[in-house]
Structure 1
Amino acid sequence: MKRHSEHLNYLVECMAFIQDLRVRAMFGGYGLYQDDLIFAIVVNDVLYLKSDAAIKNEFTRRGLQPFTYTVRSDKLVTMQYFEAPPDVFEQPEIMQEWTQKAWGAALRAKKPRAAELERWASWRADQ
């Protein structure tokens, strides 16, 4: 069983306010989940938070970089996860603020399940 790094353990401690926080190993890094939604990744001991169009500018204004990786040695892929601001590690309130933003991005990106779509369609038909 692969052991978590000390830094990952520290991140989990910093996010103790998140109920049911789960860490899953993935592709050489880790995904951080709440309610089966991934809101952050940790790769090479760097915390990246989920982003979307609603909050992307908050990351870019601070000069924070997106997570990227190379496919087949020639194609750079940029994901919707950005480096966490350094001050999240200094003040718990700031960690909570930024993880809530990332959680919001994860919720907005969530694709509805078939059952949810059926319920929604049924509700709309009744209106």
Structure 2
Amino acid sequence: MKRRSLALAALLFIAAAGSTTQAKESSVISLDQLKQMFADMRANAGYKKWNVDGPLLWGYFFTDPDSKKLEPVAEYLSSNGYHFVAIYPTDDKSTFFLHVEKVEHHTPESLNQRNLEFYKLASQFKLESYDGMDVGPVEK
């Protein structure tokens, strides 16, 4: 699996906010956190070459201890324009991640809407969690 070489501390914090819990109010990534993440991306010199206000490659992550429960979600998202990357175990093999990607243009508000949709999707499929997102430049 190819990982982006740059990682935002803000994204790691935000992704961790939803870890290992059902999509509950207290674990939901807030709009304020997303606004801060976008501000941090704009301010960080390493991200200046990215067009934060244009299309970027967004990765989205779902978790569950049963990898088989992630497969129908992968199929559903693939049929809705997302690129399936992988289903893979954590190091201790206690849970599995589903990773999908899509090139999208987001604002904090639109990313907040996408996250809310994915929390609901995780709940509908009875997954452990929608775990958050990461972002990188669109490769040519």
Scaled by the length of structure 2, what TM-score is found? 0.34
Give the strand-richer structure, 1 or 2: 1
* Larger Cα-atom Rg: 1
Scaled by the length of structure 1, what TM-score is found? 0.37
